[in-house]
Amino acid sequence: MNKRVLENNVPVIIDEKKRKVIDEVRSGVVVVEHNGHKSFVSECYSSYPLRLIQQQSWLSCVSFSMLGFGGGMVAGDEIKMKVDVKTGGVVCFKTQGTNKVFKSTDGAETLQRFEATVANQGLLALTPDPTTCYENAVFCQQQSFNVAEGGSLVLVDWFTSGRNCSSEYWKATRIRNEIAVKYNDKLVFVENQDIQSSSFGSLSQKLGNSEVVGMIILVGPRTAELRKSLDCFKRRQTFREKRVELTSLQANGGAVANLEDIPLVSVSTISSDATIVRFMLPDLQYGYEFVMEMLRPLSVDLGGLIPY
């Protein structure tokens, strides 16, 4: 028996086979297709603790805002989302503020999982605001992407140090961040970060004074202009070169800025179709300005939509 689901005022008919996928994922399912003129949503479902709001239907792409109930995620919450971008489909996922992860009083973990497939000529732009892990938060994020040849992916994955107004600087108990990207059935990028205090130092000591850390992953032909624009970063000093320069200046009595107060950016070309940008930035406002400038060329493929 088919089931008619009304989510975000959009009626969608889902058969029992697809219903099983939704039950397994629980939090959200989105399927985006292209009709020759513009992208459209053929399936959409969301449930607590996730809410999806479709925006700006006049654009040639589809845009969603991902919202949480209560302004953030508490210990034990699980968000499991599955996205399927069909041939030629274009979709951008945003948020309406930082993704807050509240403290865990008993060590319980907060889980966020995002799984996506992108077909030929499709584009998935996952451009959320940064995640802010409060003091004693335990957060696990798992993201996997399977991009077909000719498909494209833009992923912004970033974290802030905490509630600075409450003197929180990297006081989360643990942050686990797992990302895997396949392109044309080949694994082009995989990273498993497990960030926590240890005998080698506290979380704040390891991350220094940087208020924002993160990365941007660019894959596929629709990111070619974006990746080309990064050549200027490749010609800049490396972090090692900057450290050597500052150490030399300090040894000679020169006035130098704290290394942690200097924006750090690295660009790695991991294949002819994929580039990774990593950054550590001194404050959140600088972070937004940096990401906005980096992704400005993307608005052409998003039909005029500016992610930030």
Cα torsion angle, 93, 25, 76, 182, sign: negative
| Residue 62 in this model has a pLDDT that exceeds 70 | yes
pLDDT band at 7 (very low <50, low <70, confident <90, very high): very low
Model pLDDT, residue 111: 96
**Residue-level pLDDT at 2:** 40
For residues 36-51, give the mean pLDDT.
91
Q: Is-contact 146 117, C-beta < 8 A?
A: yes
User: Is 124 within 8 Å of 145 (Cβ atoms)?
Assistant: yes
Q: Above pLDDT 70, what percent of the chain?
A: 81
**Beta strand spans in the chain (E):** 3-7, 10-14, 28-34, 39-46, 50-55, 62-68, 78-85, 90-95, 99-101, 110-118, 123-126, 131-133, 138-147, 152-160, 174-183, 186-196, 212-219, 264-271, 274-281
d(Cα 102, Cα 126) in Å, to the nearest integer?
A: 23
Rounded Cα–Cα distance for residues 93 and 157 (Å) = 12
Check pLDDT > 60 for residue 23: no
- For residues 111 and 257, which has the higher predicted lDDT (pLDDT)? 111
Q: How confident is the model at residue 68 (pLDDT cuts 50, 70, 90)?
A: confident
CA separation for the pair 249, 255 (Å, rounded): 7
Its sign, for the CA torsion 220, 223, 228, 232, is: negative
Residues 167 and 132 sit within 8 Å (Cβ to Cβ): no
Domains of the chain by residue range: 63-300
To the nearest 10°, the Cα dihedral for 291, 294, 295, 296?
110
Beta bridge partners of 62: 91
Q: What is the pTM for the complete model shown? A: 0.85
Q: For residue 103, give the DSSP letter.
A: -
B/e letters for 248-261, b = 16+ CB within 10 Å, e = fewer, are eeeeeeeeeeeeee
Task: Name the phi and psi angles at 224, rounded to 5.
Answer: -60, -45
pLDDT category, 6, cuts 50, 70, 90?
very low
What's the mean pLDDT in 147-162?
97
Greatest mean pLDDT range, 73-77, 104-108, 184-188, 245-249: 184-188
Cβ distance 45 to 5 under 8 Å?
yes
What is the spatial distance between Cα 92 and Cα 89, in angstroms, rounded to a whole number?
Answer: 10
Cis peptide before 282 (omega within 30 of 0): no
**With contact defined as beta carbons under 8 Å apart, do 298 and 125 qualify?**
yes
Least confident of 69-78, 80-89, 195-204: 195-204
The listed range with the strongest mean pLDDT (82-91, 94-103, 227-236) is 82-91
| Cα–Cα distance measured from residue 190 to residue 179, given in angstroms and rounded to the nearest whole number | 6
Q: Which amino acid is at 123?
A: L
> Does 233 have pLDDT greater than 80?
no
Q: How far apart are CA 230 and CA 245, in angstroms?
A: 23
